[in-house]
Amino acid sequence: MTNSHRVYCSGWALASLDYRKEIKALYAGIPEKEGWQGDKVCELMEGKWEMELKKFLGRARKTHDEVLATQKSAAGKIKIACELRRETTATNPRIAIALSMGHPSRASNLIARFKIEA
């Protein structure tokens, strides 16, 4: 682990918006570790989650706008939510917001039901 990694994991950088976007993109390419959890790295992790969401949307051959326009309980939307949940540390509330699935508890129920049926 480098010193710069320790610095960025201890809090958020005070810098220009462009610099923060650059750092966010850099961290999006680094595999997630258990120690990456918590409020301090949430913004960095959002970059990772956004990158993964784009990947799953590409697999489904859908755009983000197309997915947002579907019902909250659409099968394709739930499948993408399950993939995000399985492959990232994104929480159900963040997934519910990103995919417009309604209340986080409803998204949790849909994800759990999809896992059982699959």
User: How do residues 7-40 score in pLDDT, each as one tens digit?
Assistant: 555 555 566 778 777 777 777 666 665 555 556 5
Q: Which residue has the tokens 């960025």?
A: 8
Asked if 67 and 99 touch (Cβ cutoff 8 Å), the reply is yes
Domain positions in the chain? 3-117
Helix intervals (H) in 11-91: 17-28, 42-60, 64-69, 75-87
DSSP-derived letter for residue 32 is P
What pLDDT was estimated at residue 53? 87
Q: Which two tokens stand for residue 32?
A: 């997630």
Q: Which of 64, 29, 59 is nearest to 44 (CA)?
A: 29
- Cα 75 from chain centroid (whole Å): 19
pLDDT in tens, 33-78: 555 555 656 666 777 788 888 888 888 898 888 888 888 888 888 9
Q: How is residue 109 written in tokens? A: 């129920």
